[in-house]
């Protein structure tokens, strides 16, 4: 059987064209089906998503008292500071600080570590921080009555001796950064939403 020359006018798909398109489509669908579980496992699980925010009742916390709650598997320190603690934190020159940045998720990254940038806006007696030492991840002491709070009256990390002042700023020790301030807001005078 003689072969007929191909014509440029012939726009009909050949059997080979149909098979190539079908094979390419199957490869794309198969590749997507194989990649989906790999990509989907990177999403947070339901228990993590349920902890994205937490509401805390602070109505029973008196000045000078502290409260610890868990958020995303980390302790959150909430302290109702006294007037003396606030004054002491405000009197600290920024040049005396190891870390000059506020580390406040509610402010720009380069915000200075003044007491105003560490405490709650318009509610300066309240201080909300992630209670994990920035050196090696230990939990500082200073929340419970009778805890040693270090030379600056804030928190003391028993692992390597870092000391934080009443605004959660590192003052002595190997910790490189101030205690982090998580994203939070006041829902009312008696309730805080963290996250």
- Give the catalytic positions in this structure: 160
Return the H-helix or E-strand segment holding 135. none
Of 110, 122, 123, 129, nearest in space to 167 by CA: 129
Sheet holding 153-156, edge to edge: 153-156, 163-165, 170-172
140 and 79 Cβ atoms separated by less than 8 Å? no
Of 49, 79, 62, 89, nearest in space to 169 by CA: 89
- 3-state DSSP: the chain helix, strand, coil percent, rounded to 5? 25, 25, 50
């Amino acid at each position: 059987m003689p072969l007929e020359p191909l014509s440029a006018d012939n726009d009909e798909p050949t059997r080979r064209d149909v098979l190539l398109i079908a094979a390419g489509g199957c490869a794309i669908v198969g590749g997507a089906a194989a990649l989906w579980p790999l990509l989907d496992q990177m999403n947070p699980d339901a228990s993590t998503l349920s902890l994205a925010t937490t509401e805390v009742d602070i109505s029973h916390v008196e000045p000078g008292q502290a409260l610890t709650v868990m958020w995303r598997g980390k302790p959150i320190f909430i302290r109702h500071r006294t007037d003396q603690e606030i004054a002491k934190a405000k009197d600290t020159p920024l040049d005396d600080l190891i870390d000059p940045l506020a580390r406040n998720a509610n402010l720009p990254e380069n915000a200075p570590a003044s007491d105003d940038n560490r405490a709650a806006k318009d509610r300066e007696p309240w201080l909300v921080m992630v209670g994990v030492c920035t050196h090696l991840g230990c939990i500082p002491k200073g929340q419970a009555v009778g805890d040693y709070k270090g030379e600056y009256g804030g928190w003391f990390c028993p692992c390597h001796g870092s000391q934080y002042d009443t605004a959660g700023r590192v003052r002595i020790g190997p910790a490189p950064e101030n205690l982090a301030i998580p994203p939070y807001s006041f829902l009312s005078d008696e309730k805080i939403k963290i996250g």
